[in-house]
Structure 1
Amino acid sequence: IAVSYLAFGKKTSALSAVGCGVVVVGYVVATGGEVNVSLQGLFFGCLSSLFVALNAIFVKQSLAVVDDNQWVLMFYNNVNAAIILPLIIYATEVEALVDAADAMASSSFFTMLLIVGSFGFLINIASFLQIKVTSPLTHNVSGTFKACVQTVIAALIFQNPTTPFFWLGFFLSMLGTSIYSYARFTEL
């Protein structure tokens, strides 16, 4: 909310802010009751959320520059990645690439690479479109909802140890996203 206000000067309604607050409380409750929690992990989780919010804001600002055309923005994004990614690989991953050369030569590697790349492309387009049609804040709240559902599914499938605080935090986050969604719906 604060980052959106600083970037766009756009105020968030009280009910939307309450929804976001409930989501944050849910996150705190869930992590406070974790079996294996570290301050470093908590710090990087919060830092990650900040950068996700900043990315959504930069996408919204960049869409304005390309006449709200998510396809043009995707093109620029891919050109940028094609230039920067090899430099990052060269600076950090050359040894790992040499070690994995045999595995990367297999057809199954390229098949998986093609599948993952295609899904990444589609998710990127969907994200750009969602930010274009709604707002960076709405994009982040829906991303939080998705992450909560994924976390619960993973905990159930892999039988991760959970606590009552985990489940309370999950339900608070779901409640917060529902409040936010209702608030945004009534504002239309």
Structure 2
Amino acid sequence: MTASSSNNFGLTERQAVIGTVGFYMLTALVMVSVNKWALNALEVPWLLLWCQMLIAVLLLKITHYAGLLKMPKIEMSVAKALTPLIAINVLGLGVNTLCLVYVDTSFYQIARGLVLPFTVIFAYVLLGQPSSHLVLGACFTVFCGFYTGVSTEINVSQLGIFFGIASSITTSLHAIVIKKSLPAVNNSSIDLVYYNNALSLMATTPIIFLSGESALVVERFQSQGFASFHQFLIAALVTGIFGFLVNLAGFMQISKTSPTTHMISGAVRGVLQTLLGYFAFHEVITTGRLTGIILILSGGALYTYAKDKEMKANSKPAYIPMTQQDLDGEDEDMDVENHKVGKA
């Protein structure tokens, strides 16, 4: 009976892990593909981001009024403390989307391929965390993949590569800034998600006008009418909903699985994203592009193996009740007791 319930519980956990990982990859893939579809219809990346964040804030508010989640009230002191997070988030979302404007979906993985090396660099410079030789080897492999993919492309946009590198930097910094921002919201992840979306929405609003996208929208509306926005508006709605779900899926995956599994699913997502670009958008995958993607994913796999090895090594002392010095000390105490008994 016990064995049976243990098996049933194991199956349930397995289903939960498979479900959350699959949900995360599906939502992330939909975001990339629909974003590309929207930008092909109307090249207004900042307006697209604004629509996505607006929908995310509205959905969070709906969950609040429905009693599912509790959203905080915006406080100026907290908003001021979160300024670095909002700045890096808006900048990161902007360069991510701009990168997607100038490169193919299948090349997007290569353009943003330097996330891992920058993460290791910033972890050392800002947090003082050194890396093992195996991790540095993984970073070198990823860099070789990035260089191979970029150097073998003839018609690739240099601006797209620039935004890809900028995206790698902001993505690497984002995790560090989030870690430092959590105390401002009493370590509440959902409060941080709400503040992040609401304040980023406000910060993005003037950019739409400064970038000239508002004038482009007015011009398109006057020349072609509302029908020309049909595809863009559908895509904005879909990506807004899935943007909300990506946040939820990311939290679900991390809570149900380990960080190692999270990284592996990210690598698998990269492969699926490349295949998506090939089949859905009829993009050409050159030998250099394919080699670059393989090297980047191999470097990511090596990094995952290295961190998993480090985690297992660090967890070993937790299973040892006493150190060797304690055991030696206990032996000495036992000798003293035996000596006393012998004298008695």
Q: What TM-score bracket applies, with the shorter chain setting the length?
A: 0.7 to 0.9
Q: Which moved more, 1:4-13 or 1:154-163?
A: 154-163
Indicate which of 31, 34, 46 corresponds to 2:150: 31
Measured in 1, the distance between the counterparts of 2:161 and 2:130 equals 28
Task: State the 1:107 CA deviation.
Answer: 7.8
Q: Output the CA distance in 2 between the equivalents of 1:97 and 1:175.
A: 43
Alignment check: 8 A CA contact 1:26 1:173 kept: yes
TM-superposition CA deviations, 1:136-160 (whole Å, max 9, x none): xx98897566445413431354443
Query: Quick one: which amino acid aligns to residue 216 of structure 2?
Result: A
Asked whether the equivalents of residues 145 and 173 of structure 1 are also in contact (C-alpha less than 8 Å), the reply is: no
State the SS of the aligned residue for 2:136: helix
Q: What letter is aligned with 2:309?
A: T
Runs of at least 5 residues in structure 2 that lack an aligned partner in the other structure: 1-119, 312-344
Task: Tell me if the contact between 1:24 and 1:173 (Cα under 8 Å) persists in the aligned partners.
Answer: yes
Gaps in structure 1 of 5+ consecutive residues? none
How do 1:37-116 and structure 2 match up within 5 A?
37-92=156-211, 93-101=213-221, 102-103=225-226, 111-116=234-239
> In structure 2, which of residues 302, 316, 325 is the aligned counterpart of residue 179 of structure 1?
302
TM (normalized to structure 2)?
0.45
- Structure 1 Cα separation of the partners of residues 149 and 124 of structure 2: 27
Query: What is the percentage of aligned positions where both structures have the same residue?
Result: 32
Structure 1-normalised TM-score? 0.76
Q: Which amino acid aligns with 2:214?
A: V
Amino acid aligned to 2:226: A
- Larger Rg belongs to: 2
Change (3 A) 1:125 1:12: farther
Kindly tell me: are residues 119 and 157 of structure 1, through their superposed partners in 2, closer, same or farther at Cα, counting changes over 3 Å?
closer
Q: Distance in 2 between matches of 1:152 and 1:116?
A: 20
Q: Partner amino acid for 1:177? A: G
- In the alignment, is the contact (CA less than 8 A) between 1:22 and 1:175 conserved in 2? yes
Q: Which has the higher contact order (CA 8 A, sep 6+)?
A: 1
Structure 1 residues 156 and 109: CA distance shift in structure 2, 3 A: closer
Q: Structure 1's 87 and 43: CA in aligned 2 closer, same or farther, altered over 3 A? A: closer
Residues 84 and 62 (structure 1 numbering): CA distance in 2 closer, same or farther, change over 3 Å? same
Counterpart secondary structure, 2:131: coil
